[in-house]
Amino acid sequence: MFLIDDVLINEEIYQKNFICNIEKCKGACCWEGDFGAPLDVDEIELIEKDYEAIKVHLDQEGIDHIEKNGIYEYVKDLRKNATTLLKDGRCVFLSMKDGVAKCGIEKAHEAGVTNFKKPISCHLYPIRIDQNKENGFDVLKYDKWDICNAACTLGDEHKVRIYEFLKDALTRKYGDEFYAQLKALVQKFSN
């Protein structure tokens, strides 16, 4: 494991390969699982601020659910807020097109109507952040899930490690200097 600042990085993140293969999985991470996307307080505020612009990019069922139940709920197992889910387990922000899930928040960002890309927990996937309250650091872990087998295969074919695939997300969360340090450590200890 590497420790950079207050972030502990599990070795699978720099040893395993991964490239999201949405053509194979169809975005199943947006409708599989036990809870929605974990949200930070500032992310809730950004979504609420731009909800009317984001709403245009959502399916009607998601809009109806949000307007009745809100955009997030507290999930006891996570000890954190997360996006609400529809009865069938889909994230309320999921938008389907040609059988492939797309984040409605991300679609709004691509359309230029919000500066918020999507929840960092989604952007970082398959990395999950656990917080070590005792020591005050984030612990980055690889969340191995069978729905991502095609992503692992594609990553193996192209020899792209998880941390490389997630460069933009890691930089967004922790900054350019963090990513540069991570890359340098991987190169140093890979030789």
Confidence of residue 56 (pLDDT cuts 50, 70, 90): very high
In the sheet with 72-75, reading across from the earlier edge strand, the strands are 38-39, 80-83, 72-75
Tell me the torsion sign for CA atoms 105, 109, 113, 115: positive
Confidence of residue 113 (pLDDT cuts 50, 70, 90): very high
* Percentage of the chain lying above the pLDDT 90 cut: 77
Q: At what angle do helices 167-174 and 176-190 cross, to 10 degrees?
A: 130
Q: Give pLDDT, residue 133.
A: 63
Task: pLDDT band for 157, please (50, 70, 90 cuts).
Answer: very high
Q: Model pTM greater than 0.85?
A: yes
Check whether 131 has a pLDDT greater than 90: no
DSSP assignment, residue 17? Answer: B
Instruction: Work out the average pLDDT over 55-68.
Output: 95
Find the mean pLDDT for residues 157-173.
97
Query: In this predicted structure, what is the pLDDT of residue 128?
Result: 93
